[in-house]
Structure 1
């Protein structure tokens, strides 16, 4: 399943928090699979696992929704210190449900300290899993350094920039039509509810098309990635335009 934009945002924030500058003292990897099941790697997966120069292991479970938090799926709290990484709104809903020994980060800010525990698995198992995850990421990085892949990415960035300009031009045309119909103070004349519905409809359309692309429906586009990024960008522009007009839209997940 593809990760949501909010999940990616929380990943970026917790990585930034633990990824020290200069002489590194802590090392982190995402999606670390530990153990083996009938000879196959993986009976448990840690969303984010770090190991520092003092030999301390920290595990992080990233949750972005109430259903995700309350899911019966096993939570991989096997480190010396274990944390939930949550949004502020979700934390307010579940703060009483967080076990006493589990810490909490809201993005990159620690709002509840974790209490030290004994490792729930043998340390050699953790080290082996850490090495496997590091090798996996190193292989991805090596493949991404392909000149052809970099050239393709550059072309896509140029294409997305053009799409951004088109979206802004469409917005300017819409504003011109509104001024022509309602006068220079069209924002005051236009019913607020109508504005909200107009912005929300445009935003919801691009969000729905983004998810359609994620499941393989991207007619008219060369790839799912192109379609997904176009609609994600368009939704973001609509959201920012709504904020400029003093309107806060309902976003995905709300």
Structure 2
């Protein structure tokens, strides 16, 4: 499970990449023993060259010192760290690796904003990375990048369709699970109870609308018959 801080870093980094004209995606699996890139960005430069940047996100000192593979296979490679963590371990950052520090917006900054704030914080380049040649074939890198983008599109489509993709049997099964945790002392807060109540209310409303429509039609016919009898 990712911590809230990790998710905040991810979201801020993603928006930062978008602002610079890059395409970014999280958790890109590399072939062989190259590991998984936390965030990988791609940009086609004006000179026609492709530029790849890799970002490793670390939120604690233990995380930074873990044995997890660092997938610095791009042209430019960065650590993305909370500012407080960077100040603790900056002497340990390799010379060729860049650093972006994260700080959360405070209340005054949010109140002073003249445009909608899309991220929980902002990134500052503390140390620029050195250029290096790709550590992986560019075609293979692009394929893995596209696979990860496709994964994110599938996830987004699932969110967009919501529960409509599930069968009635599946939905009914989920409702029964909710009923197993029924709170007899506070029925108003039970999802099952609220679902049944709303379903019944909607049914009654629909029937009432149908009755009203029939009564209106009967009144109209009676009025026509009355006019015909007077002629």
Alignment TM-score, normalising by the size of structure 2: 0.59
Alignment match, 1:157: none
The total of aligned residue pairs comes to 145
Structure 1 segments of 4+ aligned residues over 2 angstroms from their partners? 147-150, 219-222
2:64 aligned with 1:49, yes or no? no
Structure 2: gaps spanning 5 or more residues: 103-122, 166-179, 184-231
2:143 aligned with 1:128, yes or no? yes
Structure 1: gaps spanning 5 or more residues: 38-42, 151-218, 223-254
Q: In 2, distance between residues paired with 1:61 and 1:85?
A: 6
Which has more radius of gyration?
2
1:203-233 CA distance string (max 9 Å, x none) = xxxxxxxxxxxxxxxx9699xxxxxxxxxxx
Aligned residue runs from structure 1 range 1-254, under 5 A: 2-20=1-19, 25-36=21-32, 44-54=35-45, 55-107=50-102, 108-148=123-163
Q: By how many angstroms is 1:16 displaced?
A: 1.5
Q: In 2, distance between residues paired with 1:147 and 1:118?
A: 43
Change (3 A) 1:220 1:110: farther
Change (3 A) 1:132 1:221: farther
Q: In 2, distance between residues paired with 1:69 and 1:47?
A: 13
Q: In 1, distance between residues paired with 2:75 and 2:181?
A: 50
Q: In 2, distance between residues paired with 1:112 and 1:121?
A: 24
Q: Which has the higher contact order (CA 8 A, sep 6+)?
A: 2
Alignment TM-score, normalising by the size of structure 1: 0.53
SS in 1 for 2:150: helix
Change (3 A) 1:148 1:90: same
